[in-house]
Structure 1
Amino acid sequence: MRPSPIYLRHLVVALAAAGVLPSVALAQADAQPSQSSGAPQAAATLPAVTVHGDATPDQLPPSYAGGQVARGGRLGVLGNQDFMDVPFSMTTYTSQAIQNQQARSIAGVLADDPFIRTSYGFGNFSETYMVRGFQL
């Protein structure tokens, strides 16, 4: 009998936590200074840090002619990236494309993408997304 995807997901999370939590606890134990002597210690002064940046959050990658699809997009903590600089395939739809499609949901926007299939879950009304055969 094959284990359910939910069981496998919980198993992966539990194994990841079992591997990470002991190392975090060990790192915290090493970081605490020992108070073996009764004398108070002087506070450490850290050097100043200067941060320079020129990107603003509303800077979006340029779109192709027609304004339907952009050349790149936001990738979480990596920020705005060109689609040629990422190690996987990505398609970024612009707000103009969403308005032109008159999409009422995310599934409506992704209906034109051949790699993404939307369906409803078993026994509920939530949408599930299949990307190249893998359920999200």
Structure 2
Amino acid sequence: MIRSTFFLLVLLVSFSSCDTDDEVAISDFEIAKSKWKNLQFKDYTIQENTSCFCGGLLEWTTKVINNEKDTVYFDDSKLYKGQTYQMVLDGAKTIDEAFDFIEQFDVTTVYSFEVVYDEQFGFPKSIFIDDVENMADDEIAYLCSNFTPTK
């Protein structure tokens, strides 16, 4: 009886301690989002870059005031085929919007979805998406850097 109870306990601990990749990713997400929320930044600037084999403006700085996009700064000469300021502003994301994107993204529709979080502030530093395994030029990366609180 004692032996079978001990064996059952060992099995339960073994199975409960095994994490799948999804559970680890969710845990990283929750830790990072909690860190970000606890810091309560409402006003900041952040540089955003898109890395892909696609057209359009791929780099800008977003100014956020009271958790809302206020202004985007970029090199006008890099606008692409009819792209406008409003299109760039609409495409820019606040950090809260980046967390929403990650949380709502259906990872079962792509080959790979990886996120790296800033250790100090918790915001997503990079989001990497690879749609199809072994297909060239389908990957896209969203990068955030130069985070600066403004208040």
Please say which structure displays the higher CA radius of gyration: 1
Q: Give the alignment's TM-score, normalised by structure 2.
A: 0.20
> Counting strand residues as a fraction of each chain, which structure ranks higher?
2
Higher relative contact order structure (alpha carbons within 8 Å, sequence separation ≥ 6): 2
